[in-house]
Every structure is written in structure tokens, then in C-alpha cells.
Structure 1
Amino acid sequence: MKIYYSKYIGYGSLSLAIVLFIHLAFLYTLGFEAFPKFTLITLLQLCLFLVAVYAMIAGIKRLTNRQIAFELTPTGIHVYQGIILPKDIFIPKEELVSAAYKVVDVSDPDHQNSKSYFIEFQLRDGSTLQNLSKSNIVINSQNLTVKLFVNLCRFKEEEWQELSKYLKEEYQITII
């Protein structure tokens, strides 16, 4: 059972960068390579170039650094990072005691979404998992918790019912 992260943002950023670079190359071939004076068109082309560079960097960063999927397998939870350079974080099911789906208000006024959604797993005492904090997974060995953030996933509260049934049957853990 997989929970997918929104990877289309990375593809979209790279697509935007490619389109803008093609646009700028097309203008260059039409003779806009040497601007004799600073005009609105010069400023617009400079802005488009900067947007293309930013979109390219953001797309590459999204596709190589961000987690994209959680996979709940019969042996435990796999957290995959990136598409191009995949990395795997494994949490064995023997380490998990309980699970809960939580919605927490975020008090940051600059935050686009006022709520944070995550699945919180309680770890058993004496867990061997190391502390880890990534963009959508936090392992805290002092508090014995694992938080899988699903803010950017296509995960709905209705799917929690299906997932909790799977966790109860397959992992034999308590659902809160």
C-alpha cells in the first residue's frame, strides 16, 4: 500500500524551465541577442531567464531531495526520497506500537495551509531507530514517535479508514 507524495511539482518546474529556455533561445535566433538600450522587453527577457533558472533549480531539488512515497509492506514502512536519486528509510513493523491520524493547526501566519496532517506512530520502548528529520518524516527516539507528514500527498481522511484496517490486520498495532 503506497501513499504518494506530489511529485508533479518537480516535473512542472522542470517543464516550465525548458519552455522558458526554448522561448529565450527562439528570441535569441530572431536577433534579440544584443539589446542596444534598456527597455521593457529587455527587462522582461531578463525576468524570464531568472524564472527559468529558478524553476530548473526547484525542479531538480524537488526530484532529488524530497520524499515522494511511503510504502507500507508486510515487513514495515519504506520511505522513499526523490525520483532520480532514490533513497530508502526503513521502519520495521516490530518497532511500532500504535498509529493515529492527526490534524494540527499551524500558528504560522505565513503558512499557506493552516493545518498540518500526519500519521503518528508510537515506537516500542528500547527502539533502535535513530533521530531523523526530513521534509515529511520525523523520527524522534526520545519521545518514541514517528511522524509521516501527508500534507502534500493525495491522502484523504477517508483513506485513513482503509489504512487503519490494513495496519490493524497486518501490523497488529493499536489504532487511536
Structure 2
Amino acid sequence: MNPPLSAATNAGIDVFPARVLVLMGVSGSGKTLVGQEVARRWEASFEDADHWHAPEAVAKMSAKIPLTDEDRAPWLARLRRDVIEATPPGRRMVLACSALKKRYRDLLRGGDRDVLFVYLEGSLSLIAERLAGRSGHYMPPDLLASQMATLEVPGPREAITVSIDQPPDAVADAVMAAIHGKP
């Protein structure tokens, strides 16, 4: 059963002291829009993992070809090294990144307890509707099915889950409440 629309599920996760917050989910789940707002409220810098893809990966996605684990490996390594590890102590970072599989999240997290994942969860129909209304992005709506098939939904000890079946500001509210330990 999904949490109520205004709620986030964070049972079983230590939310403090988070230094890097990774908003994860399939394309169209609102990672960038919500991530930018959360970064503003949390007084953190913001990075969109989409900007870190190699040109070859962008070309594949633009051609409606799903990425493989091999395509994603160097991208994930760059994110870990150049974004997460490069965030100085005492600074906060919000990263919008699909992080679809557990092993991708494990690679991004490394051994850091201060990297926290927030899974933006939504129905296939809602996300498909959002993607259909989006323009100017290299990720075509045709690849949503492949992303949903690749997605390994994180468990309650791995990520906070926030429903996206609400306006983006309410999603950001739920993320902020969750990282401040308020159910």
C-alpha cells in the first residue's frame, strides 16, 4: 500500500547527518524540478545527473535505445567521483539521478552513511502523462517502459519513498519533512 499523498515513508532509515541527497526514480518522476526546490530549501547545491551522461549515451537514448549496465557504469563512476566525493565536508548537495538498480545506488553511496536516497514513486500512467507533456529532453517517452522494467524499487532501509501523486511543491514539502525526521 502506498503512503498517503502528503506523506513520505522513512521508517528504518537514518536520515541524519545527510550531506548528499539523491532524488531517484524513472524519467518523468520530477527529480529535477523537485530536486531544485529541495536544494533551495535545504541550502544545498544541485546537480542533475542527466548532464553527466557521455555523448554516446545521450545519442543512444535520443535514438530510443535503452542504456545497458555497461553504458551506465562510467556515468555512475563520474557521478560518484566528481559530484558526491567532490562535495566538501560541511556542504550539502542534492543530486537528481535515476539510480534505477540497487547496485547503482550502492556504487553512488560507496561507504558513505551521509548519502541519502529519496525514491520519487508514481504510477506508470501519471509518469507517462508527464513525459508526453515534456519537450526539449533527450529521453523519449518510449523508453519509460524500459526504465520501469529496470527499476529495482528500494526497500525502506535503503531509501525514503515519496509519492509524486501531488503537486511538485507538496512533493518537496514531503521530502523536507522526511529529511527532518517528521513522518
What TM-score comes out, normalization by structure 2 length?
0.28
Structure holding more helix per residue: 2
- Larger strand percent: 1
TM-score, normalised via structure 1 length: 0.29
- Which structure has the larger Rg? 1
**Higher relative contact order, chain-length normalized (CA < 8 Å, sep 6+):** 2
